[in-house]
Amino acid sequence: MLKEFRDFIFKGNVVDLAVAVVIGAAFGAVITSFTTNLLNPIIAAIVGKPDFSAYMTVINGSKIQYGLFLNALIAFVLIGAAVYFFVVAPMNALMRRLHGPTGPPVTKKCPECASEIPLAARRCAHCCVPLIAD
């Protein structure tokens, strides 16, 4: 049982996931610092408050601190944007460069001989079978 557990822990996927979690936490800290130290002073210059955490309302003696939610929402949007622009977009560009642009198919398979033929073909060039229009 311990051997199986050791094998599970040292599989590449588990180690990769652990590294991703640690890097994600560090990245979250960087974005939080960006929000706290750069974005909030800009908001303070425009709105007049140091950040949104001061925004709240009281209903029947309960504090509803919607400003804290706005701060978390800003951090989430910034993390999402950073992941998209620094990870997803470059990976998509790399995949397009490696695999070429993907578009609508330009060929189809002949139902008789399974060779690739142009979509507009009415007869297979390999086996001369007439093709039924799709």
Q: CA 102 to CA 99: how far, in whole Å? A: 8
pTM over 0.75? The answer is no
Query: What average pLDDT does the segment 94-111 reach?
Result: 81
- Domain spans, the chain: 2-102, 104-134
**pLDDT (tens digit, 9 = 90+) per residue, 39-96?**
778 877 887 776 777 889 999 999 999 988 988 888 788 778 877 888 889 988 988 8
C-beta separation of 110 from 131 below 8 A:
yes
**pLDDT (tens digit, 9 = 90+) per residue, 1-41?**
888 887 777 776 777 788 889 988 888 888 778 877 887 78
Q: Is the backbone of residue 16 left (phi > 0), alpha (psi -120 to 50) or beta? A: alpha
The answer regarding whether domain 2-102 maps to CATH 3.40.1410.10 reads no
Paired sense of beta strands 107-109 and 62-64, if any = unpaired
Query: What average pLDDT does the segment 105-133 reach?
Result: 85
What is residue 133's DSSP assignment?
A: P
